[in-house]
Amino acid sequence: MIPVALAGIFGACFAVMDVLSCPSGGFISDKFGRKGSLVLLLAGASVGFFMMSQITGDWPVALAVATMMLCSFFLGSAAGSVFAVVPLIKRRLTGQIAGMVGAYGNIGAVLFLTVFSFVSPSIFFLTIAGGIAFATCCAFFLDEPTGKMAELMPDGTVQLIDVH
């Protein structure tokens, strides 16, 4: 049996890994392209949550923690990858759009915690895996601009922005 304090530390590791891996998602998106990175990282997070749904008391603690940390890495990196897409929507509204992405992310967290109050942990993780799998499918429809994109400035002029 794992002491409660140690279980709390393991749980906190998920959040720490999530925060530390978020910038890596932005880096990966900048380096390898936003759409492919987003699809890959979301798929990894979905698989990670599916694996977490399979954890039972028979699993060695080290394997369960490693599964949780890997899932958290993909989840944080996928979040960073989502934020890498934000400036491509409308550059001068980047702050507003980033704020909405963060706000809706929090709404999603509350929604999933509400689900958790009604189902077992295994079903909870399967629900998250399914939601992220759906987001992965939606990411396939992302139309990533190439070359240059036009931005209409407030004074009516058009500015061409290089997109890499």
Judge contact between 81 and 26, C-beta under 8 A: yes
| pLDDT at position 87 | 81
CA–CA gap between residue 41 and residue 47 (Å, rounded) = 10
Strongest mean pLDDT among 27-31, 48-52, 88-92, 144-148:
48-52
> For residue 112, what are the contacts with CB-CB under 8 A and spacing of at least 6?
124, 127, 128, 131
Average pLDDT of the segment spanning 124-143: 93
DSSP one-letter string for 115-153: HHTTS-HHHHHHHHHHHHHHHHHHHTT-----EEEEEE-
CA–CA gap between residue 77 and residue 62 (Å, rounded) = 22
pLDDT digit string (tens) for 78-121?
A: 999 998 888 877 777 888 888 998 888 889 889 988 999 999 99
CA–CA gap between residue 9 and residue 45 (Å, rounded) = 21
Q: Provide the percentage of residues in the chain whose pLDDT is more than 90.
A: 49
For the chain, which domains are there?
4-163 (1.20.1250.20)
pTM: 0.83
| pLDDT at position 1 | 62
**pLDDT-based confidence at residue 30 (cuts at 50, 70, 90):** confident
**pLDDT-based confidence at residue 126 (cuts at 50, 70, 90):** very high
